[in-house]
Amino acid sequence: MLNMDTSHRPVRISDWSAVLEAVFAADPSDEQDWLEWKSTLDLRSKEQMATVVAKAIIAMANRDPDRAARAVGGIGILLIGIEPGNVTGVEAVDNADLDNLISPYVGADGPVWLPHWTQYRGKKILIIEIGPPQWGDPIHTFRKEIQVQSSVQGKEPRTISNGAIFVRKLAKSAPAGHVEVTRLGDRRATRAPEGLDLAVDIETTSPLSRYGWDSSQLDQFLGFKRDELMAPIIEEQQQSSRARPSTGLFATFADESSSYGLGPTRMREKRSPAEYQSAVNAYLEDVRAAWPDIMRTAAANFVLPPRFVLANRSTRNYEKVLVELYVAGEADAAEFEPATEGLNLDELLPHPPRRWGPWNLPMSSMLDSIHSYGTLSNVRSATAHPPSVTIERGGGFRLRFAPVDLRPEQIHVLTKHVSVLIPATRTAPVTATWKATATNTDGPPATGSFTIAFGGPDLNVLAEVLRAGRKGT
């Protein structure tokens, strides 16, 4: 039975090509304590499988856990059929035959190892992955004696005894000395820091939806905004064309009155019609450029949020568990704020040009704002409370939830008020990765990931705004 374990994460198969390319381009002296290669081996030879493969597995499994973790996640790699600048390949054998030749020497309960078969430059390559060493692991030894025939004629065969210990020295598998045996004894006596047994996921009452908009509706909306902004100047031009020309004293008075301000707080229009139209056109282009951000902001009023949940799967009490969750790519998150009294879409748009015509100096409204500022500030500070989650944006989004205490096997809702905003143009899977720490645990953070499924129909945000009769349209 092949000795396999899923408690460690193997290198993704797509990564092996990069490893093989690196070895092919390497210097012959580039072997590492985690990497060894052999140009060829007889995979049906009991002696070669014991003295090369089993010995390498044992030696790499006897490495120091902290040092091993610095490269490729702590795993060891033995490549057969390749060396720097040369690809010889190997004759493939059944994995069961590999197990029958290797396990007697490493033990069925010994180091974790996994075979991977792949093609490189037209040749079959065997990759043997050795699981990362852990604190508390036993000292791995040879489990069966083997006689090794010498390549020198007349020389007595040497013996690898039952219980022989091998370690990695200078990128080679070599017998352990007293220093290495002491280190391995310390490794056995040192328990790995106890990790957190937590899980983070989402729950939904209905399938989540991505959001988008109809480009033709955007064009209609921009046309409506253009008509709205140009209406005053068009009306003024129409009135001017209908007015009769004045003569005499009244004409002189009309010309003089139009050249002065209209009062201490009422100012006449100083822009030319061409300048105003240019400002309107620039504004509409700004709206078009900002439209994805506008729709994303508006979507937070319509995209129903999931419940982010944290589960304590252990029998321990965890104190002040801090969870951080990250989603990469085209993704955003926002507090779900259903607009029960109407969504003022104009507040989300870029600042428009001042409408055509005479205008008032906003002095009185400024004084009112200054006068009421202190009162408003005091009210907000009095009602402020720490948020249950903070949202960071940029290259995706990150959620940082307020720390919580968890009883054994308790499930806690971190938040149910944050919408996950994914544009309909994103077709790639949406994966959330997370990590969690607790103040009463010194072990490594709990980590994990899950896919956020979007099975609901895409939500047309602008159509939702129009359908609900919202403001700003």
Asked whether residue 100 falls in the same domain as residue 219, the answer is no
Asked whether residue 157 falls in the same domain as residue 276, the answer is no
Instruction: Report if pTM > 0.75.
Output: no
Q: Examine the fold and report which residue of 129, 159, 191 is the final residue of a domain before the chain moves on.
A: 191
What HEC string does 257-310 produce? Answer: HHCCCCCCCEECCCCCHHHHHHHHHHHHHHHHHHHHHHHHHHHCCCCCCCEEEE
pLDDT, position 149: 76
Q: What values do phi and psi take at 58, rounded to 5?
A: -65, -45
What does the longest C-alpha to C-alpha distance in the chain come to? 135
Q: What values do phi and psi take at 262, rounded to 5?
A: -90, 0
Q: Would the pLDDT of 73 be above 70?
A: yes
pLDDT, position 113: 92
Q: How many domains does the chain have?
A: 2
What is the per-residue pLDDT across 348-361, written as a single tens digit (0 to 9) for each? 899 999 989 888 76
What is the per-residue pLDDT across 77-86, written as a single tens digit (0 to 9) for each? 999 999 999 9
Q: What percent of the chain has pLDDT over 70?
A: 82
Q: Examine the fold and report which residue of 165, 191, 217 is the final residue of a domain before the chain moves on.
A: 191
23, 39 in Cβ contact below 8 A? no
Residue 373 lies in a domain: no
Q: Would the pLDDT of 369 be above 70?
A: no
pLDDT band for position 467 (cuts 50, 70, 90)? confident
Asked whether residue 329 falls in the same domain as residue 424, the answer is yes
- For 412, the 3-state DSSP assignment is strand
What is the per-residue pLDDT across 234-278, written as a single tens digit (0 to 9) for each? 888 888 777 655 444 333 333 333 433 445 567 888 899 999 999
Stretch 33-47: mean pLDDT, rounded? Answer: 92
Residue 122 lies in a domain: yes
Stretch 371-389: mean pLDDT, rounded? Answer: 45
Give me the residues paired with residue 86 across strands: 83
pLDDT, position 260: 39
CATH of the domain at 354: 2.60.40.10
What is the per-residue pLDDT across 291-334, written as a single tens digit (0 to 9) for each? 988 888 889 889 999 999 999 998 889 999 999 999 999 999 99
Residue 413 lies in a domain: yes
Residue 353 lies in a domain: yes
Asked whether residue 170 falls in the same domain as residue 206, the answer is no
- Rg (Cα) of the chain, in Å, rounded? 36
Residue 257 lies in a domain: no
Asked whether residue 315 falls in the same domain as residue 445, the answer is yes
pLDDT band for position 370 (cuts 50, 70, 90)? very low
Asked whether residue 183 falls in the same domain as residue 208, the answer is no
pLDDT, position 343: 73
pLDDT band for position 61 (cuts 50, 70, 90)? very high
How many Å apart are CA 77 and CA 54, to the nearest integer? 13
Asked whether residue 43 falls in the same domain as residue 155, the answer is yes
Nearest to 61 by CA among 242, 222, 220, 187: 187
Residue 156 lies in a domain: yes
CATH of the domain at 58: 3.30.950.30
Asked whether residue 459 falls in the same domain as residue 355, the answer is yes
Q: Position of tokens 């040369």?
A: 86
As a residue count, the chain comes to 473
Asked whether residue 95 falls in the same domain as residue 230, the answer is no
282-298 burial, b for 16+ CB within 10 Å, e for fewer?
Answer: ebbeebeeebeebbbbb
pLDDT band for position 15 (cuts 50, 70, 90)? low
Asked whether residue 314 falls in the same domain as residue 335, the answer is yes
Asked whether residue 64 falls in the same domain as residue 176, the answer is yes
Residue 196 lies in a domain: no
Asked whether residue 180 falls in the same domain as residue 209, the answer is no
308, 419 in Cβ contact below 8 A? no
What is the per-residue pLDDT across 119-166, written as a single tens digit (0 to 9) for each? 999 999 999 999 999 888 999 999 999 988 766 555 667 889 999 999
Lowest mean pLDDT among 27-36, 196-205, 376-385: 376-385
Q: Would the pLDDT of 368 be above 50?
A: no
Q: Examine the fold and report which residue of 128, 157, 191 is the final residue of a domain before the chain moves on.
A: 191
Q: 136 lies in which domain range?
A: 13-191
The chain-wide mean pLDDT, for the chain, equals 83
Residue 369 lies in a domain: no
